Amino acid sequence: MNPSNQHDEKKPFPWHLVFFLGPGLLIYVVFSVYPLLDTLVLSLYNEQQGQTSFIGLQNFITLVTDDTWSQAFWNALGNNFKFFAIHMLVQNPIGLLLAVLLSSPKLRLSGTYRTLIFMPTMLSVVIIGFVWQLLLSPIWGISENFLYSIGLGQYFDAWLGKESSALITLAFISVWQFVGIPMMLIYATLLNIPDDIVDASVVDGANSFQTFWHIKLPLILPTIAMVSILTFVANFNAFELIYAVKGALAGPDFSTDLMGTFFYRTFFGFQLQQGSASMGAAVATLMFLIILMGVMLFLFFIQRRIQRFQF
| Among residues 14, 32, 52, 306, the one that binds another protein under rule CB under 8 A | 32
Distance, in Å, from the CA atom of 208 to the CA atom of 250, rounded to the nearest integer, reads: 46
Out of 18, 26, 29, 36, point to the residue binding another protein (CB under 8 A). Answer: 36
Binding residue for another protein, selected from 252, 294, 298, 302, defined by CB under 8 A: 252
Say if CB 190 and CB 220 are below 8 A apart.
Answer: yes
Within positions 47 to 76, which residues make up the interface with another protein, using CB under 8 A? 50, 68-69
Among 138, 153, 194, 218, binds another protein (CB under 8 A): 138
State the binding string over 261-290 for another protein (x if CB under 8 A, else -). Answer: --xx--x--xxxxx---------xx-xx--
Residues 6+ apart with CB under 8 A from 131: none
Q: What is the number of H-type helices and E-type strands within the chain? A: 17, 4
d(CA 153, CA 164): 19
Which one, 140 or 213, has the nearer CB to another protein? Answer: 140
Distance CA 235, CA 82 (A): 10
Q: What is the DSSP string of 186-232?
A: HHHHHHHS-HHHHHHHHHTT--HHHIIIIIIHHHHHHHHHHHHHHHH
Q: How far is CA 57 from CA 27, 126, 203, in A?
A: 30, 36, 64
Provide the minimum distance between the beta carbon of 155 and another protein in the complex, in angstroms, as a whole number.
Answer: 13
Length of the chain: 311
Provide the minimum distance between the beta carbon of 260 and another protein in the complex, in angstroms, as a whole number. Answer: 6
Among 29, 57, 148, 162, binds another protein (CB under 8 A): 162
Residues at the contact surface with another protein, assessed by CB under 8 A: 31-32, 35-36, 38-39, 50, 68-69, 87, 121, 133, 136-140, 157-163, 174, 178, 181, 230-231, 233-235, 237-239, 241, 246-247, 249, 251-254, 260, 263-264, 267, 270-274, 284-285, 287-288, 291
